[in-house]
Structure 1
Amino acid sequence: MKKLKVVFFGTPEFAKASLEAIFKSKHEIVGVVTVADKQSGRGQKMHSSPVKIFAEENNLKIFQPLKLRDENFLEEIKSLDADIFVVVAFRMMPKILFEMPQLGTFNLHASLLPDYRGAAPINFAIINGETKTGATTFFINEKIDEGNILLQNELQISEIENAGELHDRLMDLGANLVVETLNRLAENTIQEKPQPIVENPKNAFKIFKDDMKIDWNQPAEKVYNFIRGHSPYPAAFTKIKINNDEKTLKIFAGTFIENNSLKKIGSLEISKKEFNISTQNGIYKPTEVQLEGKKRMSVKDFLNGFRDFENIEIV
């Protein structure tokens, strides 16, 4: 099998797993492209991406361009004479860059394309109650997530797992798929295929704060899927009023019961032992929450902090 020279593009932990898998394979990483270091946290200290940290630890050549069209950056990347570029959880690339290598540029996406194109495929697979998902490698073109498919692997979704747990399983599945794609491209044993045309595609648009608010008018199972689909990040929330003081309550986990509604949608049944919220057709029982200004905790610990249960309500 021919050893391919690879330039890797990526940023978060999800991408680092693929970078590490390539590093351990027979292929050669000749460059790593990631975001510039950023200030974050209380002390506003500079932090590097997980991809950069791995690259530094393994003495890989690192690039952190502010602009992907920068002429000096493009010249440096071209001088690496890579056979192929691999992209995992990175930003959009200009045509002048993704067309540079002889074998092209392929991307890893955490869904079974053409379903769930977009920024949040893992979240939306769970939010929509899917029972399976997977990972896809595909050649990049000028349209977002619409290039020709190379390989796909399926994964069953447990009805109790959250987005974070599914993320970790897809991260490992995807890393193996990236190496398999490289191997088969090196052997010339992949036949790329266009993505099927779908009339009503399932999309996975970027999630904004307003999208994370829980709609208690939904059926109990949909509320349950919505919450686990946002857990642990970015975290679904509701507004709660405690003695006329309105605060945000993030909900990370819970259970639901259908056909057991409370008096009205969004009403609370709360005591030292119970925390039930009514939905369209049942109740949702949070088990892990975080009140604004507090740490994440179990509902048992949350309820221990209250004395006056009559003056708590969903708003």
Structure 2
Amino acid sequence: MEKLRIVFMGTPDFAVGILDTIYNSQFEIAAVITAPDKPAGRGQKVSVSAVKTYALEKNLPILQPTNLKNEEFLAELASYNANLQIVVAFRMLPEVVWKMPKLGTFNLHASLLPNYRGAAPINWAIINGETETGVTTFFIDDKIDTGAMILNKKIAIDSNENVGQLHDKLMHLGSETVIETLELIEKGNVTTTIQTENSELKTAYKLNKDNCKIDWTKSGIEIYNQIRGLCPYPAAWTYIKDGENEWNVKIYDSKYIEEAHTYSIGTIISGKKEMKIAVANGFIQIESLQFPGKNKMQIHELLNGTQISSEAFVK
């Protein structure tokens, strides 16, 4: 049995959950690699990654390279004498980095590979209406999320849960799976499975303004899945048009009501405490949303101070 000495690479909150579990286990973390600090927001205040914040609290050595092939960085990384590297929500590594440790570099990905390779697997599993997902550990190779799989664990997706809730469930499942993977590697008991390739694999495309915009001509359940698959971040959005006014609005929480009606698709029906939008086979009832320059509001808060006319519609 070979004692593990680990370099951990990651950036967002999801990675912090995994890092914390490793830190509180018997395994040794030699150093942490995360994204460089960067200015963010209107004031361009310097923002640090969630992983860096955690590593500072635990007094773990931190590396923040801008160029992963930089010779100074590579020399510093080598100086930690790690025999294993773990990657969770970081970025693509050059071969010189992932091949450095004796026992290799493995990644935790929040999907059941080979499906949902890519940047946003948790979001797309919900957007596409999946009823289960999971996590996979695999050894990194020269492509994105294609390496030999070590372990995968499944979890059910509740029909009403949003991506924030599923994120937290997968973080806990991922923590357990990483520890199991570390135990297998430490004992020399790893067996891997090569990923199969076929034309029907689903991809976790990077989220952008275009694929977060709601297409109201889709079925009610597709729209509902998109809204919950993007809540709380980055949020589905649409334009609300009411007379001369037009707003770019983010929609967070909603319900889908399957019901026959005679309204035109996109028509907004609102009362004192309720707003719903007509879709092909029912209504999307809006529970919370955000207007430009405003905070997120429950729908009754909005309707308490804003009147939506009977001519309003989404587009």
Q: What is aligned with 1:302? A: 302
The one-letter code matched in structure 1 to 2:206 is K
**2-structure distance, mates of 1:145, 1:15:** 16
**1-structure distance, mates of 2:109, 2:310:** 48
Aligned length: 315
**2-structure distance, mates of 1:216, 1:204:** 22
Q: What is aligned with 1:134? A: 134
Provide Cα deviations, 1:147-171, integer angstroms capped at 9, x if missing partner.
Answer: 0000111111111110011111111
Q: CA deviation at 1:264?
A: 1.1
Q: CA deviation at 1:119?
A: 0.4
Give matches, 1:118-157, under 5 Å. Answer: 118-157=118-157
Deviates more, 1:93-102 or 1:37-46: 37-46
Provide Cα deviations, 1:160-193, integer angstroms capped at 9, x if missing partner.
Answer: 1100111111111112211111111101122011
**1-structure distance, mates of 2:207, 2:261:** 30
**2-structure distance, mates of 1:22, 1:307:** 52
Q: CA deviation at 1:199?
A: 2.5
**2-structure distance, mates of 1:61, 1:94:** 21
**2-structure distance, mates of 1:177, 1:75:** 31
Give matches, 1:35-54, under 5 Å. Answer: 35-54=35-54
Provide Cα deviations, 1:220-267, integer angstroms capped at 9, x if missing partner.
Answer: 111110100011111001101233121111111111122323421111
**2-structure distance, mates of 1:258, 1:312:** 21
The one-letter code matched in structure 2 to 1:219 is S
SS in 2 for 1:69: coil
Give matches, 1:10-89, under 5 Å. Answer: 10-89=10-89
SS in 1 for 2:192: coil
Q: CA deviation at 1:48?
A: 1.6
Q: Kindly tell me: are residues 307 and 101 of structure 1, through their superposed partners in 2, closer, same or farther at Cα, counting changes over 3 Å?
A: closer
What is the Cα-based RMSD across aligned positions, in Å? Answer: 1.3
Give matches, 1:84-123, under 5 Å. Answer: 84-123=84-123
**2-structure distance, mates of 1:230, 1:149:** 28
Q: What is aligned with 1:220? A: 220
**2-structure distance, mates of 1:164, 1:308:** 30
Provide Cα deviations, 1:64-103, integer angstroms capped at 9, x if missing partner.
Answer: 1110000011011112111100000001100011001111
Structure 2 contact 132–157 (Cα < 8 Å) conserved: yes
The one-letter code matched in structure 1 to 2:220 is A
**2-structure distance, mates of 1:308, 1:154:** 44
Q: Kindly tell me: are residues 39 and 218 of structure 1, through their superposed partners in 2, closer, same or farther at Cα, counting changes over 3 Å?
A: same
Deviates more, 1:132-141 or 1:77-86: 77-86
Provide Cα deviations, 1:30-79, integer angstroms capped at 9, x if missing partner.
Answer: 11111111122343222221111111111111111110000011011112
Structure 2 contact 38–47 (Cα < 8 Å) conserved: yes
Identity of matched residues, %: 47
Give matches, 1:245-264, under 5 Å. Answer: 245-264=245-264
Q: What is the TM-score normalised by the length of structure 1?
A: 0.97
Structure 1 contact 3–26 (Cα < 8 Å) conserved: no
Structure 1 contact 228–252 (Cα < 8 Å) conserved: yes
Q: What is aligned with 1:271? A: 271
**2-structure distance, mates of 1:25, 1:300:** 47
Q: What is aligned with 1:232? A: 232
Q: What is aligned with 2:178? A: 178
Deviates more, 1:37-46 or 1:188-197: 37-46
Q: What is the TM-score normalised by the length of structure 2?
A: 0.97
**2-structure distance, mates of 1:77, 1:237:** 42
**1-structure distance, mates of 2:213, 2:171:** 27
SS in 2 for 1:207: coil
Deviates more, 1:34-43 or 1:183-192: 34-43
Q: CA deviation at 1:308?
A: 5.4
**2-structure distance, mates of 1:277, 1:312:** 10
Structure 2 contact 133–155 (Cα < 8 Å) conserved: yes
**1-structure distance, mates of 2:96, 2:187:** 26
Q: What is aligned with 2:289? A: 289
Q: Kindly tell me: are residues 52 and 274 of structure 1, through their superposed partners in 2, closer, same or farther at Cα, counting changes over 3 Å?
A: closer
**1-structure distance, mates of 2:94, 2:162:** 34
Provide Cα deviations, 1:199-238, integer angstroms capped at 9, x if missing partner.
Answer: 3101111011011111111111111101000111110011
